[in-house]
Chain A
Amino acid sequence: MPGRLEPDEMPRRDWLGLAGLWTAALAVGGSLVGMARLPKPRVSPEASSRFRAGSPLEYPPGTVKVLPDQIVRMIATEAGVAALSLVCTHLGCVVGEDADGGFLCPCHGSRFDAQGKVLGGPAPRPLRWLEVSQAADGALVVDAAREVPAGDFYPPTSGRPA
């Protein structure tokens, strides 16, 4: 009888045992991966990031209009319509308008000009320009989750798509 302190004669490779062990580990691991997916919501409980900003007729060139609920400034020029987000790119406060038509962030003093370009303060990036498009019925649609390059105006087409 081998002493209990000496190594046993173990089967060289316990394929069956290892396969069972690893499959079990895989199953548990797989379920953990599935469980880890749960906290990331598939839909946001907030209202949609896409919102309607009204008919293009409401935005003749030269219009500047703040949509306070959506925290966006709509700017219309000859080139088209653009939506400027009023959320500071530093830490997410809502910027206020200053006397020069630019913006000033109340939290840490970032300053932006009317086009959203950073003039001072800790903001690392200019204010975001949001994607403007048109819904199937012709209304302007802004998507707060999509950004476009600064200075990119959307030229609305009148009427409905063919």
Chain B
Amino acid sequence: MSEINLPQLDRRIKWALLLTSLATLAVLLASALAENVFAPWRIIRGRYAGILAEKAGDARGAALARQFENRIVQNVLPELGTVDRCITCHPGVDDPRMTDQPQPYRAHSGDYLIHHPPEKFGCTVCHRGQGRALTFEEAKAVGHHWDYPLLPPEYTQSSCGLCHTGPEVEHRGGEVYALGERLFGEKGCRACHRLSGRGGSLGPALDGVGMKVRGQLPMAGVSGEHTLPQWLAEHFDSPQRVVPGSLMKPPQLSREENTALTVYMLSLQNRDLPRSYLSPEKHREYYLAARPAPASGEALFSQFCSPCHDTGEIGIYDKFYAAFAPAVRGVAFAQIASASYVEAVIREGRPGTAMPAWGAAAGGLSDAEIAELRRYLLATPVPQGSRLAEPILARAHDPNYRSTGDAGRGAAIFTRHCTGCHGPGGAGLLAPSLVTSTFQRHAADGFLYATIAEGRANTAMPGFLSRGGFFERDIEDVIAYLRKLGGQDRAASPVARAQGQP
């Protein structure tokens, strides 16, 4: 073919071959240099060798300087499933002479490494981060596709909780963790959150929350780094900003408390660490979590109930939920509620409302604990002036009492007097719902009668009979209407059975 000029073509091919080969060589050389000469860890360790030589004051220092090699060093910990190469660039962590050095050469703070030798613990079990990486950015691993990035220093104590209890480390370098653990109990977090099988169900269970990964958390509302600790901290500041529509009351924490509670959350990891790593106290804690020691009613109340019911003596209006929490230790309630009713409501909760079930399968309270709690609730002292009249009390506790009212008439009365608080159809508004299955099954007619007639002292529920304008028949009609709302066949209902008991 005439258009092909072979000598010219061949010359071009030769030139192209020479140039591409040279370029390939250059790339290979660049790659070799980047890996073997300019790798950051080589440079860092090279500098550390100089520091060691400077500090080689005595024979041992000289020996340490002599033995130092510029190579990757690591802690391989099959028991923990980690390989931590952090000490490659932090070679001075266990050298007490390096306290005055800048990072990455500085000695580890405190006496943590005396009790936790890196050969046994490594680094990432406490600090998290990507132990296999060999550059700081990748070891820190924020935004580097690693599930557990390096913990910011203020949260490192969360890892104490993997093997220790709060009281154990409170004065031994774990004060933040200890505070967090205490706050978790004091703030009554378990009222809504289950942990180790105990706690309410209004919020999500918290087991393993410290191991959540980015993809499990809604990050749209988080203004800082998109990491779990940051999420937790911002969430405690404003649950609704981070989780739109969250039912969680803003816990009103100081900065210090926020950090402490975040630390405690991060410690909830559900990790199967080898038993030998756990302190005896931690073993005991696990044991106690599985078989809780019998607690007093008062203690149970403060842990599980008080976040909503407060002291339980007065009906509290909760601005956040825009509803009244019943005065479960109110003087009126204590006089008219039966033991079986109280226990049933605690055990089963009020489905569809903020009151969760606390029975063993749901909230983790044993029958004995529920009985203890019931005793505490009903043991409220009743001052002379608040004592209800004997006939009312008798009716309240009369198992055979049945309303014989007219539901149709009751409906009209209910609409006029009750829906303002209890909502249309008794579905609950400011005041509790009257149609939950638990309530309908376990609240006896006498209990309803006494409540409507006398109201509940120290709450928003007025006594309609004592206030006047109401007659006994009106009350019976309302009860009949309520039963109709519950839609049950009364003859066979558990109410009938419940009423048969004292």
Contacts and interface: CB of A to CB of B under 8 A. Distances in A.
Interface of A: 14, 16-17, 19-21, 23-24, 26-27, 30-31, 34, 42-48, 51-52, 133-137, 157, 160-162
Given A45-B76, A48-B75, A162-B57, A23 B97 contact: no
B67 A161 contact: no
Interface in B64-104: 64, 67, 71-78, 83, 85, 94-97
B46 to A, nearest CB: 17
B117 interface: yes
B18 A23 contact: yes
A23 B21 contact: yes
Contact of A31 (B17, B18, B28): B28
A91 B113 CA distance: 38
A136 B25 contact: no
B58 interface: yes
A16 B14 CA distance: 6
B72 A43 contact: yes
A52 B76 contact: no
Contact of B57 (A44, A135, A137, A161): A161
B379 interface: no
Given A23-B18, A136-B94, 9 more contacts: A16-B14, A20-B17, A21-B17, A23-B22, A26-B21, A27-B21, A48-B75, A137-B94, A162-B61
B18 A161 contact: no
A48 B14 CA distance: 52
A28 to B, nearest CB: 8
A10 to B, nearest CB: 12
Contacts of B11: 16
Contacts of B113: 137
B71 A42 contact: yes
A136 B72 contact: no
A161 B76 contact: no
Nearest to B24: A27
Contact of B28 (A19, A27, A161): A27
Given A52-B119, A133-B63, A24 B21 contact: yes
B96 A157 contact: no
B131 to A, nearest CB: 12
A45 B74 CA distance: 9
A30 B15 CA distance: 20
Contacts of A51: 119
Contacts of B17: 20-21, 23-24
Contacts of A44: 76
B63 A26 contact: no
9 contacts: A23-B18, A23-B22, A44-B76, A48-B76, A133-B63, A136-B96, A136-B97, A157-B59, A161-B58
Contacts of A30: 25, 28-29
B60 interface: yes
B64 A136 contact: yes
A20 B32 CA distance: 22
Interface string B93-137: 011110000000000000001100101000000000000000000
Contact of A16 (B15, B24, B31): B15
Contacts of B74: 43, 48
A19 B18 contact: yes
Given A26-B25, A42-B72, A43-B72, A20 B18 contact: yes
A61 B32 CA distance: 51
Contacts of B59: 157
Nearest to A135: B94
B133 to A, nearest CB: 13
Nearest to A159: B60
Contacts of B15: 16, 20
Contacts of A160: 96
A31 B31 CA distance: 10
Given A52-B117, A157-B60, A161-B58, A20 B14 contact: yes
A46 B73 CA distance: 12
A69 to B, nearest CB: 12
Nearest to B18: A20
A157 B57 CA distance: 14
Please provide the 10 A-B residue pairs with the shortest distance between their CB atoms, ordered closest to farther. A20-B17, A23-B21, A136-B95, A20-B18, A27-B24, A24-B21, A161-B60, A16-B14, A47-B76, A162-B57
A73 to B, nearest CB: 20
A158 to B, nearest CB: 11
B113 to A, nearest CB: 8
A132 to B, nearest CB: 11
Contacts of A21: 17
Contact of A161 (B20, B64, B78): B64
A88 to B, nearest CB: 25
A79 to B, nearest CB: 16
Interface centre among A14, A24, A134, by most chain B C-beta atoms within 10 angstroms, is A24
